[in-house]
Amino acid sequence: MNSAPKVPIPTLERLATYLRYLIDLEASNVDTISSTEVERQTGINAAQFRKDLSYFREFGKPGVGYNVVELQTRIARILQIDRDQSVIVIGAGNLGSALVGYPGLGEHHFNIVGVFDSSPHKIGTTIFDLDILDVRTLKENNALLRARIAIIAVPASAAQAVAENAAAAGVRALLNFAPIILKVSDRVVVRNVSFLQELAVLSYQIVADVRK
């Protein structure tokens, strides 16, 4: 029964890029687009684009191209962002707060439904109209909130424990901003975002570039 072909992660990442791009095209009243045009505008190889889509059955018309609105709808459905998703944010520091207020989230159906922190000074206060809850009550609260995605924006020293608590509270996916490798059950998917790593790579590339 498991005939679903495994979709490469880079394909999924590009799918999100295509979606953003298609939203812009729709706003510009473009109704059809070809893979060659996608390449011209985004730099992503036309064959790559077609191959990426081919993991999910047909989308386009040979000789014509892809209908912008239809493709947009299909990609949104594939990524499950055609419907509301509840997300919790753990850690209400500068970064956590910025994420709670991040403007694009709602538009993409990611609804922040809870914010948690451990500091007595923060618990009970609000950010962007959300009460900051005690991280120790994560499990009880998420029994009601039912978020399956959690954003971890706590210091590295707290992140592993937070990840475990989130998993115990029914969370299935973690977006981790703490600079640490989380060890979680394979029922939980993790993606890491590391500012320091990004800057370090850039730092190397500036110099490597000079050598060419």
User: Does residue 2 interact with its own copies by CB under 8 A?
Assistant: yes
Q: Which does 67 bind (CB under 5 to 8 A by kind): DNA, its own copies, none?
A: none
The residues, ordered by sequence, that sit 6+ positions from 96 with a Cβ below 8 Å of its Cβ are: 89, 90, 115, 117, 151, 153, 154
Residue (55 or 102) nearer to DNA, CB: 55
* Stretch 60-119 residues interacting with its own copies (CB under 8 A): 78-81, 85, 87, 93-95, 97-99, 101-105, 108, 110
User: Does residue 62 interact with DNA by CB under 7 A?
Assistant: yes
The interface mask with its own copies, positions 19-58, x = CB under 8 A, is: xxx--------------------xx---------------
Please choose, out of 11-19, 30-38, 47-55, 61-69, the segment that lies near its own copies by the rule CB under 8 A. 11-19
Footprint of its own copies on this chain (CB under 8 A)? 2, 4, 7, 9, 12-13, 15-17, 19-21, 42-43, 78-81, 85, 87, 93-95, 97-99, 101-105, 108, 110, 148-149, 155, 172-175, 179-181, 187, 189, 191, 193-209, 211-212
